[in-house]
Structure 1
Amino acid sequence: MNSQYFSAFAALAGSLIGGFMMLASSWLSQKAQARAEQLAHHRTRREELYADFIEVSARLYADALGHNEAELAKFVKLYALIGRMRVLSSPKIVETAQTVAKTIIETYQAPNKTFRDLQGVVNSDAIDPLLAFSEACRDELRISGPLF
């Protein structure tokens, strides 16, 4: 009769171990899927943030080329975007975004450019103050893992 108990116990133990392994496998799979979705969502948020920053910066820079006076209200969105980058992005992104903002302020303080002056500006790197920022964004977005 001991062999009957042993067989029953072995079958029960096998069922419990199999059930536990299935539960653990399912839990790990769901955890990995949730993490992948979280990373994808975080990446999408950063992509949208960077696109907004590029758009706002480009408008301000274009305005700065032709004007000496800036409306401070226009800078609110720019600095709000930089603030959001401090939360979501790496320090390198924040640093390059601040450099873009400084370049825009310096451009407002420089003499106005005429349409003819733009040809000389286009031939230099001065026309693209967003180059370093967009390259840093591309490098960061290429990394699919956590930032910090």
Structure 2
Amino acid sequence: HSEPLVREPIEEDEEINPEDVVQENKGLTKEEKEELMAPVGAEPDPDFNTAMTFEEMNNVVEVLTSATRDEQKAFRASMTIYHKLSGTEILNLLENEIGCQHKIGHLLNEYLDEAGNPLLRRRGTPKKKEVFDIGKFV
């Protein structure tokens, strides 16, 4: 059922001027290469929507709705709430409809600083804010 194709040369269209044809450059410019090779530690785009896994959402719900004392789960929930749920309708629902506003505030204060960075604490030690005493340094 198949026949071999016969190669026939294609004639140039005389109506098309070769200068009018766009020649695409398939290589990247130096700036584009530098942008693609930017270090991993670069600031993420704030408009980029980060996805949340089912495990992260289940962990947040478990921590907010139960009386679990698992430090690791509570820490992960605070990170998820601050970095992935901040400003979303889901967080609004959790705070207002389910009534977890106090518990969410407690989690964020317990495990994160004002900038959303983890507080460095030893396990089992309560967070203490040390009063600055200039007398120690003078």
Greater RCO, 1 or 2 (C-alpha within 8 Å, sep 6+):
1
Q: TM-score, normalised by structure 1?
A: 0.28
Q: TM-score, normalised by structure 2?
A: 0.30
Instruction: Flag the structure with higher helix content.
Output: 1
